[in-house]
Amino acid sequence: MALEILSRSEEQTAALAASLAKLLEPGDIIFLSGQLGVGKTFFIRHAAEALGISEPVTSPSFTMAQTYDAGHFRVHHLDLYRLSGFSADDAVDFEEYFENDAVTFVEWPERAKPYIEGPDVVIRIDHVDLSSRRISIESSNARIASGLEERHAGSGD
Amino acid sequence: MILAIETSCDDTCAAIMDGDRLSASIVSSQTEFHALYGGVVPEVASRHHLELVNPVIAEALEAAKVSLSEISRIAVTNRPGLIGALLVGVSTAKAIAYSLGVEFVAVSHLEGHIAANYLSPEPMEPPFVCLVASGGHTSIVMVHDYRRFDLLGQTLDDAAGEALDKGARLLGLGYPGGAEMDALAACGDPEYITFPVGLNKQGNLDFSFSGVKTALYYKLKKLGGEEIETHMADIAASYQASVVKALVGKTIAAAMANDCAQICLSGGVSANSELRRRLFEACDSQDIRLRIPPPELCTDNAAMIASAARYLSAIPFPEYLSIGAMASGGFAA
């Protein structure tokens, strides 16, 4: 299942993030790719808000990981932007962020290839102009894929 | 005598404090230490901390000319950061505290940055408003006394240092390039481009910097190669000025709102020359005393953790054995 949406405003992107979040369950891993300043953290902030996180979701570029408590599960927000020369040994540091008790968002997942893999959802955000973004969402997870299809049938362009 | 350990981010750090005197502060990326243990800049990975933590502690003890048996308190950063990295410091600290039968204190990294201001050469006494601005933090804290803080404002998205580093990256200056941008901006016109100032909403003390970064991306796209090349310094100066303007404006507003005549700056961004200049000017015009610790106390170090630990209660044995590392969290709960 692949969905491609042209979002024309921050509000539209926020709504899309919230609608995806409704389909997520603990154990799900979501990859987000796209250039600096395209709005990856923005997308995650609104998805996390829909998952019940009330505190501000800030960029974890520096510490590489931030964890939030959503009540009966946790939300991990990883940002691998600063990583270079990632190896199998380093992957150990991230194992605890991929357990079944949390929804895990990963920005810049390509920095850790091939050691971090198996995403349930792959999101790519591209710049169009100051307020518009092209957002593609792909899911190989049957539960999420059918949910996306239901919600967004015909809304792609 | 306090031994402090800090492994929350890239550097492995240890420091020794004897009363009010800092006896040693070792940071693994320091050149002299690098020469001894190989010149590889540590990745943010627990295995690097694991390799470095014992040699760094040994180096601190040697530099302070003390033996482990003279240590009466172990302090360690246990939040926030990457769990695996923090755990190296926390586990080491527990092991040393247990084997020596001495006190154990857990410190937040943010408390550490604030406590950098209590160290020589110019120790500051609360109350003061502290701006902590680094690659990972942007917070304005009202420090009422050594044990009582209020978080007045913080970034809702990117940290100030991150905004500068990523802006530098967009300008093609490499990453992290905050220092390079600062140098380039020195000969640029800060009014060449008007960027959105990283204020969140007027009237509160929170920051938002991600919009400035996106604005730079689109500005560069619009300007095109030739103009970017000719006006690189002007663009850097304009971008940096917008980040600095937000920091200075909100910090001064925080001091005024709290009737506080002292401001302290901490965190790596305190090295930024535009921030130092603008903050000095603003403080001067408002009769506010400004203090900026020396650079080695502003960037990540364990001296600030030792300094903070002087004012925190020890966690008794055996409770401290179950103290964990926390990915988030600020002040003592």
Do residues B92 and B145 share a domain? no
From B158, which residue of chain A is nearest by alpha-carbon distance?
A59
From B222, which residue of chain A is nearest by alpha-carbon distance?
A129
B151 is a domain residue = yes
- Find which of A40, A58, A95, A101 to mutate to test the B interface (most B CBs within 10 Å of its CB): A58
pTM for the model: 0.90
pLDDT at B134 over 60: yes
A157 is a domain residue = no
Do residues B62 and B157 share a domain? no
Closest CA–CA distance from residue A108 to any residue of chain B (Å)? 14
B58 is a domain residue = yes
Count of CB pairs separated by less than 8 Å, A with B: 99
A144 is a domain residue = yes
CA distances from B303 to B25, B45, B47, B262, B327 (A): 6, 22, 23, 22, 22
B332 is a domain residue = no
| DSSP single-letter state for residue B199 | B
Do residues B76 and B179 share a domain? no
Do residues B184 and B284 share a domain? yes
Give the CATH number for residue B83.
Answer: 3.30.420.40
A33 is a domain residue = yes
* CB spacing of A62 vs B161 below 8 angstroms: yes
Do residues B140 and B184 share a domain? yes
B230 is a domain residue = yes
Do residues B92 and B163 share a domain? no
Do residues B110 and B139 share a domain? no
Q: What is the CA radius of gyration of chain B?
A: 20
ipTM of the modeled complex: 0.87
Domain limits for position B32 = 2-114+298-322
B333 is a domain residue = no
For residue range A12-69, what is the model confidence (pLDDT) as tens digits? 999 999 999 999 999 999 999 999 999 999 999 999 999 999 988 999 888 788 899 9
* Coil vs helix vs strand at B291: strand
In this structure, what token pair is assigned to residue A103? 């929804």
pLDDT at A9 over 90: yes
Q: Is the peptide bond before B55 cis (omega within 30 degrees of 0)?
A: no
Tokens 């540091």: give the residue.
A93
- Find which of A62, A90, A133 to mutate to test the B interface (most B CBs within 10 Å of its CB): A62
Domain limits for position A126 = 2-152
Do residues B132 and B277 share a domain? yes
Count of domains for chain A: 1
Count of domains for chain B: 2
Residues A105 and A44 sit within 8 Å (Cβ to Cβ): yes
In this structure, what token pair is assigned to residue B10? 């890239």
- Nearest residue to A103 (alpha-carbon basis) of A76, A64, A80: A76
* CB spacing of B43 vs A92 below 8 angstroms: no
CA distances from B192 to A35, A68, B181, B224 (A): 25, 40, 15, 15
Residues of A in CB contact (< 8 Å) with B are 35-39, 41-42, 45, 56, 58-59, 61-68, 82-85, 89-90, 92-94, 96, 127, 129-130
Do residues B58 and B104 share a domain? yes
* pLDDT computed for residue A93 by the predictor: 79
B84 is a domain residue = yes
For residue range A86-124, what is the model confidence (pLDDT) as tens digits? 777 777 778 889 988 999 999 999 988 888 878 999 999
B329 is a domain residue = no
Do residues B103 and B187 share a domain? no
A14 is a domain residue = yes
Do residues B183 and B318 share a domain? no
What burial letters (b/e) apply to A90-120, b meaning 16+ CB within 10 Å? beebbeebbeeebbbbbbbbebbeeebeebb
H or E stretch including B99?
helix B83-100
In this structure, the number of other CB atoms found within 10 A of the CB of residue B165 comes to: 28
pLDDT at B333 over 60: no
Closest CA–CA distance from residue B21 to any residue of chain A (Å)? 30
- Nearest residue to A120 (alpha-carbon basis) of A102, A141, A149, A101: A141
- Nearest residue to A16 (alpha-carbon basis) of A46, A41, A38: A46
From CA B325, how far away is CA B333, in angstroms rounded? 14
A133 is a domain residue = yes
CA distances from B53 to A27, B56, B91, B190, B232 (A): 34, 5, 11, 43, 41
Give the CATH number for residue A51.
Answer: 3.40.50.300
Chain B partners of A42 at a C-beta cutoff of 8 Å?
A: 157, 210
Nearest CB to B327: which of A42, A67, A93?
A67
Do residues B107 and B230 share a domain? no
Burial (CB count <10 Å: 0-12, 13-18, 19+), residue A3: buried
- Amino acid making up residue B5: I
Averaged pLDDT for residues B205-228: 92
